[in-house]
Amino acid sequence: MSATAVGTRSGLRVPGWAAPAGIAVLFVAGYLVFRGAGTLPHDDDAPQFLAITDLREWVDDNKNASPVFLYFINYIRLFVGAIFVALQSALHGLGWPGLIGLMAGLGWLAGGWRIGLLGAAGFASFGVLGVWESSVDTLALVGTAVLLSLVIGLPLGVWAGRSPRLRRALNPVLDIMQIMPTFAYLAPMVLFFQIGAPAGAIATMIYAIPPAIRITALAIEQVSPVAVEASASLGATSWQTLRKVHLPLARSTMTLAVNQTIMMALSMVVIANLISAPGLGSDIIRGLSRQNVGIMLPAGLAIVVMAVVLDRTTMAAAHRRAHERTARWRWPVAAGLVAGGVALTYALPPAFPGQWVLPMGGPVNDAVRWAEVNWYDATEAIKNVTSEALLNPLQGLLTSAPWWLVAAAVLLLAWWSSGIRPALTALGCLLAIALLGLWEHSMVTLTMVVVAVLAVLVIGLVLGVAAARSARYSAVQRPLLDAAQTMPSFVYLLPALALFGPTKFTAIFASVIYAAPPVIRLVEQGIRAVPHPVVEAALSAGSTPGQLLRKVQLPMARQAILLAANQGIVLTLAMVVLGALVGGGALGYDVVSGFSQRTDFGMGFAAGVAIVLLGIMLDRITQGADRRSSPHQRNSV
Amino acid sequence: MKIRLLAGLLVLGLAAGCGGAKVEDTPGSAAPQASSGASAGGTVKIAINPWVGYEASANVVAYLLKNELGYTVELPEIKEQLAWEGFETGDVDVIIENWGHPDLKQKFIDEKKVAQVAGSTGNKGVIGWYIPKWMADKHPGITDYKNLNKYAHLFKTSESGDKGQLLFGDPSYVSNEDALIKNLKLDLKVVTGGSEAALIKGAQQAQEQQKPLLFYFWDPHWLFSKTELVRVNLPPYTEGCDADPKKVACDYAEMDLDKIVSTKFAQTGGKAYELVKNFSWTNEDQNAVADDMTNNGMTGEQAAKKWVEANTATWQAWIPK
Amino acid sequence: MGVSPDSTAIEVEGLWKIFGPTAEKVLRCDDRFLEPAALREKTGCTAAVRDVSFTVRPGEVFVVMGLSGSGKSTLVRCLTRLIEPSAGVIRIGGEDVGQASPARLRDLRRHRVSMVFQHFGLLPHRRVIDNVGYGLEIQGVGRAARHARAGEILSLVGLDGHADAYPDQLSGGMQQRVGLARALAVDPEVMLFDEPFSALDPLIRRDMQAEVIRLHREVGKTMVFITHDLSEALKLGERIAIMRAGSIVQLGTPEELVGAPADDYVADFVRDVPRSHVLTLRWICRPPEPGEPLDGPELPASTVIKDAVAVASATSRPIRVVDEGEPAGVVDRVDLLTFLSGQDTDQQAVQATT
């Protein structure tokens, strides 16, 4: 497909930027002629929305009559609820010293005293932050979601790892699950599972299960085929080979799957609080709705600490050598730690002692107030300039241009960048959005995504290049990126809200700091991956560092940079819609509105779908870009 | 080791699962109700709606339930409409301050019969559009909706584009704004601040920095005692003018705020239910507690304690004999 | 072992393996006889094994030799259906492998045929002793019994004292000894070797070849040995099949291959082999000329030519060649010199020009 596009290009001998520039010129020309005609203004009461709302009412009325609900969906709800309650009471039952001891024991088993200490200190910090109860609830919710994800995901992953056919069938589904911003499926959750912990756990599971399946399948696939063949040659049954060869050899990669599943669950679990699941998210949402950073910060920190502890513990477990000699006293020590903790539970007060709690609210709020007062002019200026100079004009352009003009531009752009098939998919998504009645809001969201992605790419390129060129700077930056990547997305809303108040710009700011770390990292890796001999050759030819960068490193890192752009877009979209909670508006707001106002349910539901469609569209426009890569590769395709 | 741990968790999960299956076994049971059984004993779940006046009431009731009657109280953060659904799932026992919602009452009280009204809170509530007082002084006639279009340009912001901004609060709040703007043909655009705090901050800035602002707000609220606000006069409310939410062209009605409880709680809540039913106080009471919570750095519990200690006579009447 | 000495250990008849989407169709028509390139062009299929037939006698070391891509690895995997053959009949110990049910097939793999792999295929998470005992474990043998057996086999292959090591703590040669031990542990009738030593250093490879010869002497298994190394093939093989593009181009004893290559391909292969090290007196002896003295030293016909040189240099008389007691002919110094100078046959001349 791309060959045809490329053929015309090289046939005409036009420079690479000509095509997008041409599309832009055509678009602007078309806009000047047709502006204001053929727009699709937003209507809160579009018939599509009303139909979905009616459907919801109908489902609601039949919840206790329909066998689907009585014997299936309600049953799932109960089952998940029971797991949650069991975990929750088990964790609470351990008492705070018991739970700290348990984490220390697990950490010790996974990675020795360092990890054990980290686990104990980390979990103790929940108490110190004054959010012990919520933290345990969050842990129980994450536990439930992760348990479900693994119980379903691991066997499915193992199966997919051994059956290419299943893998091919699963791939597009998992793709969509991963592009789909978490926000989008909260509304259907409420529809089927109502509000509360079970719905939260299931929503979290949907988000967390793709890595469980994907990485497990990969782990199984990567098992040395010779070992598998050797096992078969000795007459092992397929089950024996699975148990004795595949699973043990895939173990450490599968632990990585567990790690990723936990991380994904942690970042979603906070959002699940929007549908009244218990836990730390509740504090964060309360803080957001009071614009009180003092309430949010301890909860936000607790989430980060939880993420770091669970991440390091599972990573340590994954990195343990397959047959490391296990010291005889490993298990007794772990058991001792747990038993010691549980014993202390009886000796110490049942609730985390109040005098050990670090009162943060006051000082933090003072600091925020200070920043608000003293930085007000600066932040206000940044916000207003960006909004007036970039956001509003672009938004105006997209919302007042005829829909068919935008669609045509998207088609051409996607065709140029990825080929005809992805272009048609992108066009299909756009048309579906129009049919959903969410054109205008989608264009507003698109504007925000475009602006945020541009910012992310600029930051990513600058910092990535800097890191690739200076080992010292890279060493400083790396731990920061590590920390940033373990943080659940919600946490980024805090500083954004504190600095800029609830506006669209705030949502963009939050998504930029959310999406930048992985992009920076990809760019750095891409440039570092340029083969050393090539760099040496360029240097020996007398290139200046600037020439080296422009003529050798950036062109050769093109693939990595395009991948970074694709990643940046997916992440930005997820965060931009989440930004509805801090004034982002548009599709994200429709979703929020959908589960806070019954009459808007239809709009919220449709907006969830539109977000997914927008995600697929953006993905299709950019995903092909890395396939086009360099000229020789093009010829060989 | 990891595998053993997983196996352990799995067993735990399965065991828990079996428990869940048994609950379902009871024939004909609507599943959602099953889980609320536990809460009726010693735990009361009062939903927290996202405005501080509500929290004030909830905290005072919670304080009394805990300290006078010995109940455990949970205060889950759940917005208005979702909280009604919580009656069905057992996630909510009490909504302590309900603003109207006739549609929800019909659905959950009349049709599903999972909730019922537990009397008035004693508070009178009214929603409206407000501007800072200095604007009313500077621009005569601005408080009449008919003149709003003339002044709409004053309210323009980077968020509202070429229309005037009408700042709204939490998406879950009771709202006729879109219909009003459309039906009264106002040159305004609703911009959602997302929270009560955004409204308060906006109002305070508008006062201090003389920045024009038109915003959605409600009484009872402590803000009225700190900042001078003037209500914009929309066409006056008449009985039934808000019947069709799409055709609303009149101001909000003054409402008797009431309490809603789940049917289950009403039946099995015992003294806790009695207390909730008896709870009734004035707008001043609520504003005092809310003010302490927002401006005097008190937690809900501290503010409730302060009020309870100062108003023994009032709450003594609520405690069931 | 239930196989009478005169029966065959392995019998392969008309074996085909075609990879590709339309393999079945290709097999049914004449396309299968196309050249590999033409076949791929026309059908998108690759014929890895083309109409191969051979038999292996019990206790024999049968070597299949070919360059990479000649189909030899596919062939050996077809024998126990690790790769499912497209057509043909395979009998091992008289049993039709192609018709075997999955259970029968597993049984065959568990007890009668085992395999040694090029890249060892050891399980890194298991100790050496558990790797060796793996086949027994799969059969359901108890832990104590399989450890005892694995211990015996480990000392047989010279790995005493390494039972508790993990594979990645051993050198490549030692790892392959573990692979060998694992195959031996189930006491099979037939052992299949898929280029077992090609990943090893030359010196270690030589040791391992000696090891296989020793083991063959001691345990007397039937062995099918795949290699791309001609000297290895000549050293180990009682008979050698040379494969090219999926077919066997020549099958014979080392002597036959070196002495009478069937075509240019084989000739090219064996060109650098020092013929005097492979060919025997049988190959160059001739009927005595009238009047030739027949009182020279007597040597068996199976004597390698290079060994005959010393004898010939000690006497001026022709050597009498005897094949199992019967006189087979004579060889004199001139014959030997002519042979050693490489001008004994036309074949040689042809090769020189290529």
Using a CB-CB cut-off of 8 Å, the residues of chain A touching C97 are none
Considering only alpha carbons, which residue of chain A is nearest residue B77?
A282
How far away is chain A from the Cα of B310, in angstroms, using its nearest Cα? Answer: 25
Band of pLDDT at residue C54, cut at 50, 70 and 90? very high
Chains C and A touch (3+ CB pairs under 8 A): yes
Q: What angle do CA C11, C12, C16 make, to 5 degrees?
A: 170
Is residue C252 one of the residues assigned to a domain?
yes
Choosing from C222, C247, C270, the residue where a domain stops is C270
pLDDT of B27 > 70? The answer is no
How far away is chain C from the Cα of A222, in angstroms, using its nearest Cα? Answer: 14
C-alpha distances (whole Å) from B262 to each of A444, A533, B138 are 41, 74, 50
Number of A/B CB contacts below 8 angstroms equals 168
Choosing from C270, C287, C315, the residue where a domain stops is C270
pLDDT in the model for residue A625: 57
Considering only alpha carbons, which residue of chain C is nearest residue A249?
C125
Q: Is A630 on the interface with B (CB under 8 A)?
A: no
Say whether A290 and B197 touch across the interface (CB within 8 A): yes
Say whether B23 and A503 touch across the interface (CB within 8 A): no
What mean pLDDT value characterizes chain A? Answer: 82
pLDDT in the model for residue B31: 33
Considering only alpha carbons, which residue of chain A is nearest residue C188?
A234
| pLDDT tens per residue, range B45-104 | 999 888 889 999 999 999 999 998 889 898 888 888 888 888 887 888 999 999 988 888
Interface residue ranges in chain A relative to chain C, Cβ cutoff 8 Å:
224, 226-227, 229-237, 240, 244-245, 248-249, 251, 322-323
- C63 and C191 co-located in one domain: yes
pLDDT of A380 > 90? The answer is no
Determine whether A543 is exposed, middle or buried from the number of CB atoms within 10 Å of its CB (0-12, 13-18, 19+). middle
Which has the higher per-residue pLDDT, A1 or A415?
A: A415
pLDDT of B320 > 50? The answer is yes
Considering only alpha carbons, which residue of chain B is nearest residue A42?
B178
Q: Is A222 on the interface with B (CB under 8 A)?
A: no
- C287 and C241 co-located in one domain: no
- C199 and C279 co-located in one domain: no
How far away is chain A from the Cα of B192, in angstroms, using its nearest Cα? Answer: 7
Q: Please, are residues A496 and A582 in contact by the beta-carbon 8 Å criterion?
A: yes
CATH of domain A2-56+393-627: 1.10.3720.10
Q: What are A220's two structure tokens?
A: 């199984």
Nearest to A206 by CA among A255, A268, A157, A160: A268
Nearest to B311 by CA among B11, B63, B53, B30: B63
Is residue C243 one of the residues assigned to a domain?
yes
Closest CB to B88 among A194, A255, A388: A194
Using a CB-CB cut-off of 8 Å, the residues of chain C touching A223 are none
Number of structural domains (chain C) is 2
How far away is chain C from the Cα of A239, in angstroms, using its nearest Cα? Answer: 11
- C127 and C173 co-located in one domain: yes
Write down all domains in chain B, each with its CATH number in brackets. Answer: 36-123+255-316 (3.40.190.10), 125-232 (3.40.190.100)
Disruptive mutation site among C114, C138, C149 for chain A (greatest number of A CBs within 10 Å): C138
Chains B and C touch (3+ CB pairs under 8 A): no
- C107 and C208 co-located in one domain: yes
Say whether B35 and A81 touch across the interface (CB within 8 A): yes
Give the architecture-level CATH label for domain A73-223+250-320: Orthogonal Bundle (1.10)
Say whether B85 and A87 touch across the interface (CB within 8 A): no
pLDDT of C274 > 60? The answer is yes
CATH 1.10.3720.10 boundaries in chain A: 2-56+393-627, 73-223+250-320
| pLDDT tens per residue, range A589-627 | 888 888 777 788 888 888 888 888 888 888 888 776 555
End-to-end alpha-carbon separation of chain C, Å?
49
pLDDT of A413 > 50? The answer is yes
The helix-helix angle for A558-578 and A586-596 (nearest 10°) equals 40
Q: What is the mean pLDDT of residues C47-70?
A: 90
User: From CA C350, how far away is CA C354, in angstroms rounded?
Assistant: 7
The DSSP letter of residue C253 is: -
Of A43-57, A552-566, C175-189, C271-285, the range with the highest mean pLDDT is C175-189
- C296 and C266 co-located in one domain: no
* The model's pTM: 0.79
| Chain B partners (3+ C-beta pairs within 8 A) | A
- C246 and C302 co-located in one domain: no
The identity of residue A241, as a single letter, is T
C-alpha distances (whole Å) from A428 to each of A104, A577, A608, A614, B264 are 52, 21, 17, 10, 49
pLDDT in the model for residue C226: 93
pLDDT in the model for residue A13: 55
How far away is chain B from the Cα of A522, in angstroms, using its nearest Cα? Answer: 31
Using a CB-CB cut-off of 8 Å, the residues of chain A touching C80 are 233
pLDDT of C350 > 50? The answer is no
Cβ count near C226 (within 10 Å): 25
Choosing from C227, C247, C270, the residue where a domain stops is C270
| pLDDT tens per residue, range A24-39 | 888 888 888 777 777 7
Nearest to B96 by CA among B38, B36, B45, B171: B45
Closest CB to A233 among C82, C111, C120: C82
- C282 and C266 co-located in one domain: no
The DSSP letter of residue C342 is: T
Q: What is the mean pLDDT of residues C244-252?
A: 89
Band of pLDDT at residue B15, cut at 50, 70 and 90? very low
Considering only alpha carbons, which residue of chain B is nearest residue A252?
B2
How far away is chain A from the Cα of C238, in angstroms, using its nearest Cα? Answer: 25
pLDDT in the model for residue A327: 61
Is residue C14 one of the residues assigned to a domain?
no
Say whether A285 and B158 touch across the interface (CB within 8 A): no
pLDDT of C49 > 60? The answer is yes
Say whether A233 and C115 touch across the interface (CB within 8 A): yes
- C266 and C309 co-located in one domain: no
pLDDT in the model for residue A321: 61
Q: Please, are residues A203 and A185 in contact by the beta-carbon 8 Å criterion?
A: yes
Q: What is the mean pLDDT of residues B188-199?
A: 85
Q: Secondary structure of chain A: what % helix, strand, coil (to 5)?
A: 85, 0, 15
Q: In this structure, what CATH number is given to the domain that contains residue C229?
A: 3.40.50.300
| pLDDT tens per residue, range C99-122 | 889 899 999 999 999 999 988 888
| Collapsed DSSP state (helix, strand, coil) of residue B94 | strand
Is residue C310 one of the residues assigned to a domain?
yes
By mean pLDDT, which of A313-317, A394-398, B36-40, B150-154 is the weakest? B36-40
Is residue C219 one of the residues assigned to a domain?
yes
| pLDDT tens per residue, range C31-43 | 777 777 788 888 8
How far away is chain C from the Cα of A250, in angstroms, using its nearest Cα? Answer: 10
pLDDT in the model for residue A635: 36
Task: Assign residue A357 a region (left: φ > 0; alpha: ψ between -120 and 50; beta: otherwise).
Answer: beta
ipTM of the complex: 0.79
- C186 and C298 co-located in one domain: no
- C235 and C349 co-located in one domain: no
User: From CA A586, how far away is CA A228, in angstroms rounded?
Assistant: 53
Considering only alpha carbons, which residue of chain A is nearest residue B38?
A85
User: From CA A253, how far away is CA A250, in angstroms rounded?
Assistant: 6
Is residue C47 one of the residues assigned to a domain?
no
Of A13-17, A313-317, A566-570, B277-281, the range with the highest mean pLDDT is B277-281
What mean pLDDT value characterizes chain C? Answer: 84
Q: In this structure, what CATH number is given to the domain that contains residue C330?
A: 3.90.1280.20
- C188 and C298 co-located in one domain: no
Considering only alpha carbons, which residue of chain A is nearest residue B15?
A83
Q: What is the mean pLDDT of residues A89-93?
A: 87
| pLDDT tens per residue, range B93-128 | 999 999 988 888 988 899 888 899 999 999 989 999
Domain housing C256: 58-77+100-270
